[in-house]
Structure 1
């Protein structure tokens, strides 16, 4: 009886391992525009709707480039996490701290069922060099005001596909209740460093709205008043 159970467990384990092996490794990235942020959590939910994958790659991302902000130039550059061998996720919880806003944001995001097809490395990148091929990765791009774009792509804008765009909600951790957020992550130091900019200028929140063009696929000169 025990022997049969061991054999059954072994075959179940092998089947599970084979199921995971059928999936190509996939990658993800996190970046920000017009802000410096601290990505505090990314939690992926796998197709069984139970298993959660929590990569350890979190940290500061984005670039608060004042001249680009004044010129109305917004782009996602950023951080790419390690490859994941698990099945493609069906949704994810993304949380980050915005240094500009002095707020922590969090949101659940759903992914399309053809996520594996969208990241197919056999897709040619037509606008970024003849014959160049590489696997697209899942990206989260954020901006002030809790704005977030989820897109598939590479460093080339011509190869990016927008999955969804949302405005995240402000969230609070238990630690935030005891230690003010501005005293965490170097937020106070960030505002001291850019004090003159914040005195003279305002952040163009109007640009980071759902009715505006996506940042990931359209670099626009938005130096205009609203």
Structure 2
């Protein structure tokens, strides 16, 4: 039956996230408790030199030395989801992020309705590291939806059916933009996407991120790029 799911795999890449990882894993535990099918949370520690491994008891741990978020996500799904078919749902988030309690249950509802790809939304936690104008521009732009939905793609809030994922070769080893690349290839292959505003994640607003040209740099740029009003 199309849309029937009986297993979930969640992959979380982490690079020196000792401070934020406990909140990420606790939030995932709450989301897992809301669904009644088996869930494997696969944490991928990528070249970590901090204490991340000591606080990862709530997840299966894979240690790699990729120094590349796309490669880390890929390794996680290869390790935890090899051989999975269309009855398995894959999801991924980031170690500096906290999923909402309904993060998985909402994705599974979309899967049951026949969607192969679910793109959630991200809210920023604690804007203190950025200027008021960065927050203003981000929130204004984020609310500007296209005709088909919100149009945002985040590795922190992404889900997809396992057979669709394997069918396009999975994540590529990209240091930045691996989420957009994956979604683009899924859509090109005919995947049906849900722009899901009820699949929500709160993420950090730190100024120095792990991925070059990633979310942290995007927020810094917004703080610099606001046009000045002309009187």
State TM-score, norm by structure 1. Answer: 0.32
Higher Cα Rg: structure 1 or 2? 1
Please state which structure has a larger fraction of its residues in strand. 1
User: Which one has more relative contact order, counting CA pairs under 8 Å at least 6 apart?
Assistant: 2
Please state which structure has a larger fraction of its residues in helix. 2
State TM-score, norm by structure 2. Answer: 0.31
